Amino acid sequence: MDKHDSAKSGKGSLPGPKIPSKAAQIAHDATIKLQYAMNSSTISRIEGPNLFSMARHISTFARLLEAILADLSIDRRPFLDLRERYFGWWKPSSTTHLPWEAITNTTGIVLTAGQGNMALAAHAIRTLRNVVNTTLPIQVAYAGDDDLPAHKRRIMRALDPQLELINILDHYDEDVAGLRSGGYAMKPFAALASSFERVIIIDADTIFMQRPDEWFEEHAGLKRTGTLFFHDRAYGGRKTTDWVKNLLKESGQKPSTTLNSTLYWREELEHQQESGVVYFDKAIPGAFMSLLFTTYMNLQHVRAHLYGQVSGDKETFWLAAELAKIPYAFHPTYAGIIGPISTNVEGVPEICSPQPLQTDLYGRPFWFNSGLMEDKTNAENRKYANLTYYIPGGTRKQPVGGWRFIHDHTFCMGRSVEEMISVKDAGLGEVAKGLIDEAKAVDEMFRVTTG
């Protein structure tokens, strides 16, 4: 065989250039797009509260992150550089769970607490541990010593030996984040800073009647998207709906299938989401970038614009995913109510309470908001909630009889007695009793501790 034959057969020839993988091509294109945007005049729009500019960048980041996780041979330095340039206000620590550096796959619960809601948070922590018996680690985020002084932190640690306290100010540029006065805004910041890969974010006044642990495996929407949100009460009102519709119209963006199918969108409810519990699987790139976008929406200068249109942080979780065209999931039912049966002036049976209830996949009580006091807004009222009956929320239409707003956080829902379900008959009577007993024990501990 001469050299020409050798060349034909390929023997002894040099290897051809390596063809980039599909993931590498996606990463290259996304990197170029983000670098161009950062180096062009659009930087001014990135830094301001222009939600659609940031939504496009978040969507590109999600594709880039998915690519570098799919192909370990891709150089990650451009991604890390862009992450720092776009989100310089975020300062990940050595304990922050980052999908591109993940070495553990932990699941945990995160809540924020300060002096103002410390007792509510204590109820939530101790009932999680001692009543529904979760074994998940719990992290409590606070905004510096003024928010939760050292002696208060010692009291919190006494609630649970496994409890971890995080000073959220160590993880962000306070001049940009504004967390000392953040209030509700702190929740996404706490979730992003957390060491957990799979995180359950809860309000300080959220009370579980069942363990939250298994939902990452059991809920199809959460497994598919890495997110799970819960609907608020199906209460009529157009303020937020009109604003969101105008927002999408201005951008020329059509509502996603998820949004278009909701009662909130079709019948113009006042609120879409009850953010007392939010699930994120940060291992899924879209879910992680959606959380980062939610955090951006709650930065000081952005929320100053947003909170005039929506009630605190609650709508920012799903809206971030919607604007960035990232898949997200809602539990199908709207909020119901839990409390005692009474009769209104027209003789109609109803349940009145400030506690909106979320049910599980089988219609049984899962969790409720507004704590374990009859009225958490009235410091003089030391009565505990009456957790005897409940009305589950619906999925397709506003509830028959509707919601009736009374005062502060209290609503009533009228139904026939036959439609009001006993908590005991749902198999959770002992849990309901245990919740109240645990709250009383915590309050007694606080009374003795604080004198």
Tell me the pLDDT tens digit for each residue of 324-360: 999 999 999 999 999 999 988 888 899 999 999 999 9
DSSP state of 334: P
Q: Could you give the number of structural domains in the chain?
A: 3
Q: Are residues 117 and 68 located together in one domain of the fold? A: no
How much is the average pLDDT of 360-379?
Answer: 90
Assigned domain for 16 exists = no
CB 421 within 8 Å of CB 429: no
- The pTM of the full predicted model, rounded to 2 decimals, is 0.92
How much is the average pLDDT of 73-89?
Answer: 95
Lowest mean pLDDT: which of 39-53, 148-162, 301-315? Answer: 39-53
CATH of the domain at 173: 3.90.550.10
Q: Are residues 76 and 36 located together in one domain of the fold? A: yes
Provide, rounded to the nearest whole percent, the portion of the chain with pLDDT above 90.
69
Short-list 203, 221, 181, CA closest to 330: 221
Average pLDDT, the chain: 90
Does residue 397 register a pLDDT over 80?
A: no
Q: Are residues 206 and 115 located together in one domain of the fold? A: yes
Assigned domain for 41 exists = yes
| Per-residue pLDDT band at 45 (split at 50, 70, 90) | very low
Does residue 46 register a pLDDT over 60?
A: no
Lowest mean pLDDT: which of 39-48, 117-126, 221-230? Answer: 39-48
Does residue 12 register a pLDDT over 60?
A: no
Amino acid in position 318 = W
pLDDT of residue 11: 52
Q: CA distances (Å), 57 to each of 34, 52, 389, 418, in order?
A: 7, 9, 47, 51
DSSP state of 373: B
Does residue 322 register a pLDDT over 60?
A: yes
Assigned domain for 110 exists = yes
Does residue 255 register a pLDDT over 60?
A: yes
Q: Are residues 164 and 248 located together in one domain of the fold? A: yes
| Per-residue pLDDT band at 6 (split at 50, 70, 90) | very low
pLDDT of residue 449: 63
pLDDT of residue 310: 87
Q: End of a domain among 86, 113, 133?
A: 86
Task: Please state the φ and ψ torsions of residue 85, each to the nearest 5 degrees.
Answer: -75, -40
pLDDT of residue 377: 73
DSSP state of 392: -
The domain in which residue 351 lies consists of 336-450
Give the model confidence (pLDDT) of 194-249 as tens digits: 999 999 999 999 999 999 999 999 999 999 999 999 999 988 778 888 999 998 98
> Which residues have a Cβ under 8 Å from the Cβ of 316 and sit 6 or more positions away?
188, 294, 297, 298, 306, 310
What number of other Cβ atoms are within 10 A of residue 388's Cβ? 16
CA torsion angle for 386, 391, 397, 400 (degrees, to 10)?
-90
Assigned domain for 270 exists = yes
pLDDT of residue 3: 47
Q: Are residues 319 and 342 located together in one domain of the fold? A: no
Q: Are residues 166 and 194 located together in one domain of the fold? A: yes
**Comparison of pLDDT for 306 and 40, the residue scoring more:** 306
What is the DSSP code string of 98-164? -GGG-----EEEEEE--GGGHHHHHHHHHHHHHTS-----EEEEE-HHHHS-HHHHHHHHHH-TT-E
pLDDT of residue 379: 67
Does residue 314 register a pLDDT over 70?
A: yes
